[in-house]
Structure 1
Amino acid sequence: MFTLLKTILLLLNVIYFVVIAHIIMSWLISFQVLNLRQPLVYQIWDGLNRLLDPIYSRIRRFLPDTGALDLAPLAVLLILIVLRMAIVDNAATFAY
C-alpha cells in the first residue's frame, strides 16, 4: 500500500513541477526573455499548454473572471499542496 501512496505522491510532485515550469515560462515569455518564434521554445510552450489546459479549464469554470490575471495555476498549486498534505498526514491509516 505504501508503494501506491509513494507513486501517487510522485505523480503529484511531477504535476507540481510542471505547473511551476509553466508559470516561469509564461513570465519569461511575457517579459520577452523567451521568444515564441524560436521552434524549441514554441514546442515546449505548446506541450506545456496541451498538458495543463485540461486541468486549468476545469478550474477556470469556478474562478471569477479577473481579466488578464489567470488564477488557475495558483489554484492548481494550492490543490496539489493540500492533496500532498492529506496523503502524507493520513498515510498511517492506509497501512492496514
Structure 2
Amino acid sequence: MRAILDIVLILLQLYVYVVLASVVYSYLIAFNIISRRNAMVVAIGDALYRLTEPVYAPIRRRLPSFGALDFTPFIVILLVMLIERVIVYYIYPNVF
C-alpha cells in the first residue's frame, strides 16, 4: 500500500510541474517569445492544454472573473499541496 501512495505522491508532484510548464508556456506565447506557427510549439501547447484543462475548467467556473488575471494554476497547485499533505500526514502513517 505504501508503494501505491508513493506513486500517487510522485504523480501529484509531476502534475505540479505540468501546471508550472503551462504557466510558463502561456507567458511565452503572450509576450511573443515563441511563435504559434511552429509545429512543435503547437504540439507542446496542445499537450499542456489537454493535461491541465480538465482540472482548470471546474475551478474557473467557480472563481469570479479577475479580468486578464487567471488564478486557476495557483489554486490547483494549492489543492495538490493540500492533497499531498493529507496523504503524508494522515494516510501514510496509518498504513501497515
TM-score (norm 2): 0.92
What CA RMSD, in Å, does the superposition of the two structures yield over aligned residues? 1.0
Task: Give the fraction of aligned pairs with identical amino acids, expressed as a percent.
Answer: 37
Residue 41 of structure 1 pairs with residue 71 of structure 2: no
Cα distance per residue 1:25-46 (max 9 Å; x no partner)? 1111111111111110011001
Partner of 1:13 in structure 2? 13
Q: Counterparts of 1:77 and 1:63 in 2: how far apart (Å)?
A: 15
Uncovered stretches (5+) of structure 2, i.e. residues with no partner: none
Amino acid at match of 2:21: A
SS at match of 1:64: coil
Matches within 5 A, 1:1-96: 1-90=1-90, 91-93=92-94, 95-96=95-96
Q: Counterparts of 1:35 and 1:26 in 2: how far apart (Å)?
A: 11
Aligned length: 95
TM-score (norm 1): 0.92
Cα distance per residue 1:30-74 (max 9 Å; x no partner)? 111111111100110011112211110011111111111111111
How far off its partner does 1:20 sit? 0.7
